[in-house]
Amino acid sequence: MSLLIKRADDIPASEITDRALYLTRRDFIRTAAVVVAAGTGPLAARTAYAQQPAPHGRRFERVTRSLLSTAEKPNPWEHITTYNNFWEFGQDKSDPALHARTLKTTPWTVAVSGECAKPATYSVEDIIGGETLEDRIYRHRCVEGWSMVIPWVGFPLANFIKRCEPTSKAKFIEFTTLADSRQMPGVREPNLRYPYIEALRLDEAMHPLTILAVGLYGEVLPNQNGAPIRLVIPWKYGFKSIKSIVKVRFVEKEPTTTWHDANPPLYGFWANVNPDIYPQESERRIGEFFKRRTLMFNGYADQVAGLYAGMNLRRFY
Ligand SMILES: Nc1nc2c(c(=O)[nH]1)N[C@H]1C(S)=C(S)[C@@H](COP(=O)(O)O)O[C@H]1N2
Ligand SMILES: [Mo]
């Protein structure tokens, strides 16, 4: 970390402005304080400097445009690959870009088990193989109050689920992230229980908006964004979109999930974006200065509200 500490008067003004624009307001104030005080030390190291954006990876050959994309302008590669949440690589937004570089993503397999007719260990190549890859530009809303627009490359999770042939008992689908402490320094920290686990009700998982993402901006997914394969479910808070998946399990009962287990009142199992539940009424789009109003189901209400008909969304948050 110490290599990243620069004196404030070494930072070009352009870098300060650019960086400040996409920090949260609290971080922005801290950064400003650091700049004014020409401070160094841990605070400066933590807040003042962006990581290098991810190097560019292999481009996918055929990616079709999806009608399910938002028309909003995507955030640039630099934002999406340097401002990340991936606690297996550290808690700061800049940690994953720094520490995930060395994650080994080939070979990679996903072990499928539980209530299904085709339990097996699938290679990522096999999972992606027969799929038509699509550009899916989605809004992303983190429970911490920031948002981005991200041009994923992926395909409906439903396609993979059908291949696994869930039985009639399967009501939920559970996902697990790799937890290899040799590659993932965060896994040794006592902040969350690893491996990271997330789950969806099966009908949510089968919804056409729910995808397995394998790329970003037409290229192979950078490690910090959850390579080689991650879930993206755009109407829920970001923590549901689990990264670097190594296991899938079909189950009858609602599984215990990492964030919900860590703090149930704060992180509901459902995690549907809901501006009516304090303090989620507004968000800051990374790259913008003023806040925007958060939309019900993150703007996907027309497509997904029906999944929750008759459910009290204040109780099942
Ligand atoms: N395994 C794992 N998956 C994870 C997380 C994590 O810490 N570990 N963070 C979640 C949160 S809170 C968010 S907002 C998104 C961030 O994805 P991004 O860095 O690609 O934008 O990943 C989600 N998936
Ligand atoms: Mo998040």
Domain boundaries, the chain: 50-308
Ligand 1 pocket member 85 (CB < 6 A): yes
Interval between CA 4 and ligand 2 midpoint (Å): 25
CATH 3.90.420.10 given to domain 50-308: yes
Which pLDDT score, from 0 to 100, does residue 104 have?
98
Q: Which amino acid is at 49?
A: Y
Written as six digits, the tokens of 299 are 């703007």
| Closest approach atom of ligand 1 to CA 224 | 19
Q: Phi then psi for 36, rounded to 5 degrees?
A: -60, -45
Q: Is the pTM for the entire model greater than 0.75?
A: yes
Residue 60: name the closest of 288, 269, 277, 216 by CA: 216
Interval between CA 37 and ligand 2 midpoint (Å): 31
**Residue 47 host element (H or E):** helix 42-47
Q: pLDDT truncated to tens, each residue of the chain (317 aa)?
A: 333 333 333 333 333 333 333 344 334 333 333 333 333 333 333 333 467 899 999 999 999 999 999 999 999 999 999 999 999 999 999 999 999 999 999 999 999 999 999 999 999 999 999 999 999 999 999 999 999 999 999 999 999 999 999 999 999 999 999 999 999 999 999 999 999 999 999 999 999 999 999 999 999 999 999 999 999 999 999 999 999 999 999 999 999 999 999 999 999 999 999 999 999 999 999 999 999 999 999 999 999 999 999 999 999 99
Is the peptide bond between 208 and the residue preceding it cis, with omega within 30 degrees of 0?
no
